Amino acid sequence: MRAVLEGYPRAVPLLSGPESPSHATQAPHATQAPQATQHLPVPPPRGSSSDPSPTAGPTAGPTAGPTAGPTITVASVPSGHVYVRHLAPEAHGAVVRLPDPDPDTPDRPAGARWWPPVMLRPEWARTADFDVFHVHFGFDAVDPAELTELTEVLRGRGKPFVLTVHDLRNPHHEDRAAHDAQLDVLVPAADAVVTLTSGAAAEIARRWGREALVLPHPHVVPFSTMEAAQERRGWRTGDTFRVGLHVKSLRASMDPMALLPTLVETVAAIPGGVLQVNGHRDVLDPDGARRDESLAAYLHDQADAGRLELHVHDFLDDDALWDYLASLDVSVLPYRFGTHSGWLEACRDLGTAVVAPTCGHYADQGPVLSYAHDEAGLDEASLASALRRAHAERPAAGVSVAWRRAQRAAVASAHEQLYSRLLSGRAGS
């Protein structure tokens, strides 16, 4: 099967973050991701250029998707997640992704709940009707032995197996060993490996000797919301410079206490600077199930002293999350390990600048203001410098709706082409 992909270009830089068009140039000192050197031969979407500007390409309505052809049924793990939904063209395409089965009643489609994924069960894969099996994420709690059995079932049925590597380090696991063991099964077994950035592809090549096809992360925010938020941003007046830090439910990859003293001090010295910290009730409420006493005490003390705004709430729904991100000038990612970020992509959609750590491959996704932070520690000076640059230079952080539409169509076409090649290889073997 892998011979089918010989000579297949390994990167689709078309409309990827690091090659942003002129209207989305980054600040002079922001981190610039390396450009890919190999291109997948995906034609630009009809009615747009390969490098659309705010006035070029489609501005409303669905962008033309891949060429119509035989239907390809994909068992996607998961299927209902926003990332996977946006791998489809806006108009009808040849790829049909099966709905996530209900974890409690596997013969029925799931609603909002898809985890734990039924499709990862070997018994489901043994009898289900699909053409291609594509894993994105959701295998956190699956034993490597069960994953091995799953890949053997797929191989025995002659079903192509595609793996998109989103996380090279699981952001929810303090210890990386379990995730490494799972990837040690999945990456070598896959007929094709996909990832989101050239940096992640290089790491995959180093660790497993596999070449990964690089397909950028599509938009996260709905296009209508993007348009409205970008229009409102243009109306802003005043000198307030709002810096946001969201600790969420304090996942393992986060270390907000390392950042907070520098954030408080630096933002206080910026004219018009406001530091807004958000967090969930389970971590910050007195009776929270996962309350972090030192973090909660620090935040309440600083809020009482007027040095930050503290917002404690339950999980935000999508509309509230987009409103929150759009209200910020800068969002600070407090990660000490990780790989890629959908949060970063949502910020790009809404025109919010991102201050991101040097761990992982965040800078490969798109223009960011980098600061040095990983498991070895934090460079406070680099964090302060990134914030001051963000204020002084006000980098153009967003991308237009037309650009995201064209990117989505290109990424959808690339997936369809990959599936078709794999199936052609199976038919000819």
Would you say residue 45 has pLDDT above 70?
no
Would you say residue 13 has pLDDT above 60?
no
**Residue 202 exposed, middle or buried by CB count within 10 Å (0-12, 13-18, 19+):** middle
If one counts every other C-beta atom within 10 angstroms of the C-beta of residue 279, the result is: 24
Residue 59, classed as helix, strand or coil, is: coil
CATH number at 14 reads: 3.40.50
Same domain assignment for residues 406 and 396: no
- Considering the entire predicted model, what is its pTM? 0.85
pLDDT in tens, 144-194: 999 999 999 999 999 999 999 999 999 999 999 999 999 999 999 999 999
Within 13 A of 49's CA, how many CA atoms are on the CB side? 7
Average pLDDT, the chain: 85
Q: List, in order, residues 6 or more apart from 137 with CB less than 8 Å away.
A: 77, 78, 81, 166, 167
Q: How far apart are CA 404 and CA 218, in angstroms?
A: 7
Same domain assignment for residues 315 and 242: yes
Would you say residue 352 has pLDDT above 90?
yes
Same domain assignment for residues 393 and 424: no
Percent of all residues in the chain with a pLDDT value above 70, rounded to a whole number? 80
> Once rounded to an integer, what is the mean pLDDT over residues 84-99?
95
pLDDT in tens, 403-428: 999 999 999 999 999 999 999 987 66
Same domain assignment for residues 166 and 198: yes
Would you say residue 5 has pLDDT above 50?
no
For residue 79, what pLDDT is reported? 94
pLDDT in tens, 200-227: 999 999 999 999 999 999 999 999 999 9
Query: β-pairing, 132-135 with 72-77?
Result: parallel
* Closest to 86 measured CA to CA, from 242, 220, 212, 283: 220
Q: Looking up tokens 């004219």, which residue turns up?
A: 271
CATH number at 283 reads: 3.40.50.2000
Same domain assignment for residues 341 and 215: no
Same domain assignment for residues 227 and 85: no
For residue 377, what pLDDT is reported? 97
Listing DSSP states for 204-233 in one string gives: HHHHH---EEE------S-HHHHHHHHHHH
Count up the domains in the chain and report the number: 2
pLDDT band, residue 105 (cuts 50/70/90): low
Same domain assignment for residues 289 and 142: no
Would you say residue 302 has pLDDT above 80?
yes
Same domain assignment for residues 274 and 293: yes
Q: How far apart are CA 171 and CA 351, in angstroms?
A: 25
Same domain assignment for residues 414 and 363: no
Same domain assignment for residues 202 and 331: no
Same domain assignment for residues 248 and 121: no
pLDDT band, residue 236 (cuts 50/70/90): confident
Domain extent at residue 165: 2-221+402-428
Q: How far apart are CA 52 and CA 404, in angstroms?
A: 9
> Once rounded to an integer, what is the mean pLDDT over residues 367-376?
97
Same domain assignment for residues 265 and 200: no
